């Protein structure tokens, strides 16, 4: 991977190549075991006792994650002023309360590690030679949801405190809060890894078809690696939103085709279909957001069924071939 990755709440923007941020003893991903590095707890320990010893421990343990966190959470990775900025950033009582709430919510992460271990096994089965990178947790103060470095993904747990968390109400819209729940932590680790390492957008055909099929590949991969998850949890829809998609699948597809959207390269049209939002207004005000992602998922699922394709084969096949051989026509 090349360059630092900045993800806003759900979108990977760019990424960087560098050496491992933590040592194997801190986070093991082998023989089915997955351990999450508690960078969040280590930073909190420093904030409670900001002395030279704890400062040195952080620098030694997180030589790459620490400055990356500074760049995206505090806009400061200057070694001379970093720790002063860190203390100042988290000195606000409201932000410190959020920090404590996140630590309490994720005090024990064994259940997430177990789920990730199961997913890691399925990765080894379905994507030969691949495995999850090292995983960590941080607190960003409602800023960057995910940090990705070479062989490390860190998730900001203060973005997963439940859709009814009081501090969210003034900062996030209902459709955003819908995804800000603890049960989506594992899915979002996997999604970040898939988007950065495994499933890349097609560069030859930058049109709506390639965009929605790429989204469909990600959702299909997530459903393969998290087989116990319901479809609405994979895509973060309510049951009523999922039912709307199913009931209106035919008219949605007809509208995409008749309006000549399918091969459109208009970025505004593409983003309206795959970006999060109250709805996919280009189709219907009653529709959920990201409707194009759901349609892409259905196309990929039908292709997989008709061709008996493996996950790796699906990832390696271009969008036009998938659509043509899926014969998708609900």
Tell me the pLDDT tens digit for each residue of 90-145. 999 999 999 999 999 999 999 999 999 999 999 999 999 999 999 999 999 988 78
Distance CA 43, CA 62 (A): 10
Residues 68, 69, 74, 75, Cα dihedral to 10°:
10
Distance CA 209, CA 191 (A): 20
Distance CA 72, CA 85 (A): 13
Number of H helices, E strands in the chain: 16, 7
Distance CA 86, CA 88 (A): 5
pTM for this structure?
0.89
Q: Write out pLDDT tens, residues 181-206.
A: 999 999 999 999 999 999 988 877 78
In terms of Cβ atoms closer than 10 Å to its own Cβ (0-12, 13-18, 19+), residue 2 is exposed
Q: Write out pLDDT tens, residues 47-95.
A: 999 999 999 999 999 999 999 999 888 888 888 899 999 999 999 999 9
Q: Please choose, from the candidates 197, 114, 112, 94, the residue with its C-alpha nearest in 3D space to the C-alpha of residue 157.
A: 112
């Amino acid at each position: 991977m090349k360059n630092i990755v900045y993800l806003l709440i759900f979108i990977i923007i760019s990424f960087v190549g560098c050496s491992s941020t933590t040592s194997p003893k801190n986070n093991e991903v082998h023989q089915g075991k997955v351990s999450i590095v508690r960078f969040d707890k280590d930073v909190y320990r420093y904030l409670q006792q900001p002395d030279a010893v704890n400062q040195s421990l952080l620098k030694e343990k997180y030589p790459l994650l620490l400055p990356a966190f500074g760049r995206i959470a505090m806009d400061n990775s200057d070694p001379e002023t970093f720790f002063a900025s860190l203390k100042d950033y988290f000195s606000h009582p409201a932000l410190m309360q959020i920090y404590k709430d996140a630590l309490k919510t994720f005090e024990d992460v064994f259940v997430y590690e177990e789920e990730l271990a199961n997913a890691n096994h399925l990765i080894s089965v379905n994507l030969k030679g691949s495995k999850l990178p090292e995983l960590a947790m941080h607190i960003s103060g409602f800023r960057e949801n995910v940090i990705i470095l070479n062989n490390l993904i860190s998730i900001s747990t203060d973005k997963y405190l439940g859709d009814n968390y009081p501090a969210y109400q003034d900062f996030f819209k209902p459709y955003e809060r819908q995804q800000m729940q603890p049960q989506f932590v594992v899915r979002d680790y996997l999604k970040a890894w898939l988007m950065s390492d495994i499933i890349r957008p097609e560069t030859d055909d930058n049109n709506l078809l390639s965009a929605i099929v790429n989204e469909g590949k990600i959702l299909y991969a997530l459903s393969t690696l998290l087989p116990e998850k319901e479809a609405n949890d994979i895509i973060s829809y309510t049951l009523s939103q999922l039912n709307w998609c199913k009931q209106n699948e035919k008219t949605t597809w007809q509208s995409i085709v008749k309006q000549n959207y399918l091969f459109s390269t208009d970025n505004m049209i593409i983003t309206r279909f795959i970006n999060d939002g109250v709805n996919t207004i280009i189709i219907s005000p009653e529709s959920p957001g990201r409707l194009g992602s759901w349609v892409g998922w259905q196309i990929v699922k039908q292709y997989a069924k008709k061709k008996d394709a493996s996950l790796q084969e699906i990832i390696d096949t271009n969008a036009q071939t998938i659509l043509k051989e899926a014969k998708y026509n609900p």
